[in-house]
């Protein structure tokens, strides 16, 4: 068995597609298929179920995937150790982050991190929870800061359930508040319940957002489906123009910007943010340093 075969196998398993894996590995698809076939014959088991829409891991493949990722991780660690990366932190980290986090907590953390570790470059990809977890599964991200959810019973929340193998470390909780335009009938209220928003128009975060799913679920529990009139990455801007109300993290609502009124929710509503990573998958020394730093910085800030 060759290390190259493990690399090929893991890439196909992450993407569930031979064509896309071949493109990412920059090898011809027939050559990739041949190497996977050779590996299966050597092991004496079928690793993938093949269909017209792609490939999926068999039970044997799932078990082999865990060991393959750990083997590749150890090989990468040995290589980095030999190069001296561990004692001289440098490199790059690709991090996925919620748009709300990029607009609030993350910039200050990146400044502080850059001052302490100038040799490590951090590349941020903004998105909502669902796409971030999918990108992490495919190996496109080292880490992802996303919405953590512990109630997995409603179908509206299925996209927030981490894929198998993805682990999370809790960072902080965000209080969610109601944001309305100046002059809105609810503006003077000391608190508002979700059930009172039945007839209101919402400006929502886009599909895949943890906050959108959390609010949608809260409305369903009160017996109604929210009226979503607009959706965007920065609902506050549209709220200020009177195009609807929105539920936002308090820190995001209080950030300088277009004028809005902020009203607490009763009962309170909050969202949890965690850092996600793939168990057993290689994390470079740079990524491990960034992970530890984020845990300490964001955890203490909350």
Tens-digit pLDDT profile for residues 32-41:
989 898 898 9
Task: Report, in angstroms and rounded to the nearest whole number, the Rg of the chain calculated over CA atoms.
Answer: 22
pLDDT-derived band at 254 (thresholds 50, 70, 90) equals very high
pLDDT of residue 84: 58
Tens-digit pLDDT profile for residues 145-198:
998 876 544 555 555 666 677 888 999 999 999 999 999 999 999 999 999 999
Q: pTM for this structure?
A: 0.73
- DSSP code, position 164: T
Per-residue pLDDT averaged across 18-26, rounded? 88
pLDDT of residue 11: 86
**Residue 272, CA distances (Å) to 8, 41, 48 in order:** 36, 46, 36
pLDDT of residue 153: 47
The whole-angstrom separation of Cα 124 and Cα 57 is 30
Q: Which residues contact 298 (CB under 8 A, 6 or more apart)?
A: 105, 109, 171, 172, 273, 275
pLDDT of residue 248: 95
Helix, strand, coil % (nearest 5) of the chain?
Answer: 45, 25, 30
pLDDT of residue 73: 74
- Domains of the chain plus CATH, in order, are 3-83 (1.10.10.10), 91-172+274-301 (3.40.190.10), 173-271 (3.40.190.290)
pLDDT at 299 over 70: yes
Instruction: Return the H-helix or E-strand segment holding 247.
Output: strand 246-249
pLDDT at 220 over 50: yes
Nearest alpha carbon to residue 139 among 94, 202, 203: 94
Q: Which residues contact 258 (CB under 8 A, 6 or more apart)?
A: 236, 237, 239, 240, 241
The whole-angstrom separation of Cα 100 and Cα 154 is 24
pLDDT of residue 273: 93
pLDDT-derived band at 301 (thresholds 50, 70, 90) equals low
pLDDT at 244 over 90: yes
Tens-digit pLDDT profile for residues 84-139:
555 667 788 999 999 889 989 999 999 999 999 998 999 999 998 888 988 888 88
pLDDT of residue 106: 94
Q: Are strands 201-204 and 166-180 parallel, antiparallel or unpaired?
A: unpaired
Q: Is the peptide bond before 267 cis (omega within 30 degrees of 0)?
A: yes
Least confident residue range of 24-38, 59-73, 230-244: 59-73
pLDDT of residue 213: 86
* Alpha-carbon dihedral sign for residues 180, 181, 184, 187: positive
pLDDT at 144 over 60: yes
**Residue 5, CA distances (Å) to 48, 69, 75, 138 in order:** 14, 12, 14, 18
């Amino acid at each position: 068995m060759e290390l190259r075969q493990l690399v090929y196998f893991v890439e196909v398993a992450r993407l569930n597609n031979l064509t896309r894996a071949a493109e990412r590995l920059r090898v011809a698809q027939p050559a990739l298929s041949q190497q996977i076939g050779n590996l299966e014959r050597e092991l004496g088991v079928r690793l993938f179920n093949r269909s017209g829409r792609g490939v999926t891991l068999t039970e044997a493949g799932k078990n082999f995937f865990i060991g393959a990722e750990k083997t590749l991780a150890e090989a990468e660690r040995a290589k980095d150790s030999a190069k001296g990366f561990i004692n001289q932190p440098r490199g790059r980290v690709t991090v996925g982050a919620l748009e709300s986090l990029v607009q609030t907590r993350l910039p200050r953390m990146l400044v502080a991190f850059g001052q302490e570790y100038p040799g490590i470059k951090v590349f941020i990809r903004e998105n909502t929870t669902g796409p971030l977890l999918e990108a992490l599964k495919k190996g496109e991200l080292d880490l992802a800061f996303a919405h953590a959810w512990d109630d997995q019973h409603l179908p509206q929340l299925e996209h927030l359930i981490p894929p198998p193998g993805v682990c999370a470390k809790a960072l902080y909780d965000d209080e969610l508040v109601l944001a309305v335009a100046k002059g809105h009938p609810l503006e003077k209220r000391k608190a508002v319940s979700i059930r009172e928003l039945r007839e209101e128009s919402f400006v929502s975060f886009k599909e895949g957002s943890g906050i959108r799913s959390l609010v949608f679920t809260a409305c369903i529990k009160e017996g109604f489906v929210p009226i979503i009139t607009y959706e965007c990455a920065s609902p506050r801007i549209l709220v200020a123009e009177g195009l609807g109300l929105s539920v936002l993290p308090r820190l995001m609502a209080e950030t300088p910007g277009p004028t809005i009124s902020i009203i607490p929710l009763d009962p309170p509503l909050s969202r949890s943010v965690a850092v996600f990573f793939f168990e057993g998958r290689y994390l470079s020394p740079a990524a491990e340093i960034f992970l530890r730093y984020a845990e300490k910085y964001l955890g203490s800030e909350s």
